[in-house]
Amino acid sequence: MQTHGPTKPTLCSPLLLLCLLCVTSTGAAAARHNQYPFDDPSDYLTGAANYSPWATTLQRHRQQRAELLACAPDARCRGRLRSFNRMLEKARGLSVTEQIELVNFYINRTRYDNDHPQRLYDSEGNKIGVERNHWATLLEFLTERGDCEDYASAKYFMLRELGLPAEQMRVVVTREFRPRGYHAVLAIRLDNSTVWLLESDNVIKKRNHSGYSYVYAMNEQSVWDHREDYQPEVKSFKR
């Protein structure tokens, strides 16, 4: 299913894929720990409604939210909806950092399911990129599983249910150096301005964000383009 992103510049797909170029190196602070640039206004690209693959996911999530929260503790529900609602109730009595850690652990328990990409070609038959079919909603993730982007977006939606503001979170598409490839994490800015990156292997990068460069990010309000900033020195990684 072909999707269309913002036009300046174009975003090809959630895993971005082959049409995006690597970014150039930047300042000393970024090179030292490659901290995610949460507060750089120059990276703002457009409103979330203008990036079709993500906007349709947000719309589906809003439509599915009633079913997502309707499963009673003693009811029979499909997928993991019952355990999800139990986990929500447990998390409501925790601190914000405890909620983040619990949500990261809970979502990461889901079995990984790779979403096979679709290759894109121009009118002359030249390959111009690769895209996934769509981002999963939280309901779809809990009932059908997903891959790394879906882990990140599921954590985003679950933490929103717990009251964490949208402006403190972003689903971030990155380019990893070990192993090489595109990957997604959830970035969260805490009240003390510390930024945590939630990985799909239960790791939370609380200080050192090294290991990848940032490509683009989004929440339910906006999309940010990071392709011209914040790439660590590749030579600093062991091969």
Read off the pLDDT of residues 130-150 as tens digits, 9 standing for 90 and up: 555 578 999 999 988 676 789
For residue 199, is pLDDT > 80? yes
Please report whether residue 11 resides in a domain. Answer: no
Q: What is the pLDDT of residue 8?
A: 42
Please report whether residue 1 resides in a domain. Answer: no
Q: What is the pLDDT of residue 96?
A: 97
Is the distance from CB of 224 to CB of 39 less than 8 angstroms? no
When the pLDDT of each residue in the chain is averaged and rounded to a whole number, the result is 78
Please report whether residue 39 resides in a domain. Answer: yes
DSSP secondary structure of 172-236: EEEEEETTEEEEEEEEEE-TTS-EEEE-TTS-EESS--TTEEEEEEE-SSEEEE-TTS-BPPGGG
Domain that holds residue 30: 17-236
Phi, psi of 223 (to 5 degrees): -125, 140
Q: What is the pLDDT of residue 195?
A: 95
For residue 70, what is the domain's CATH number? 3.10.620.30
Please report whether residue 9 resides in a domain. Answer: no
Q: What is the pLDDT of residue 125?
A: 64
In this prediction, residues 56-84 reach a mean pLDDT of 88
What domain count does the chain have?
A: 1
Please report whether residue 128 resides in a domain. Answer: yes
For residue 106, is pLDDT > 50? yes
Whether this model's pTM surpasses 0.85: no
Q: What is the pLDDT of residue 144?
A: 85
In this prediction, residues 120-130 reach a mean pLDDT of 59
Please report whether residue 184 resides in a domain. Answer: yes
Please report whether residue 2 resides in a domain. Answer: no
Tokens encoding 44: 């703002």
Q: What is the pLDDT of residue 139?
A: 93
Please report whether residue 190 resides in a domain. Answer: yes
* Most trustworthy range by pLDDT among 21-25, 91-95, 233-237: 91-95
Residue the block writes with tokens 């690597």: 22
For residue 16, is pLDDT > 70? no
Range of lowest pLDDT (71-80, 104-113, 177-186): 71-80
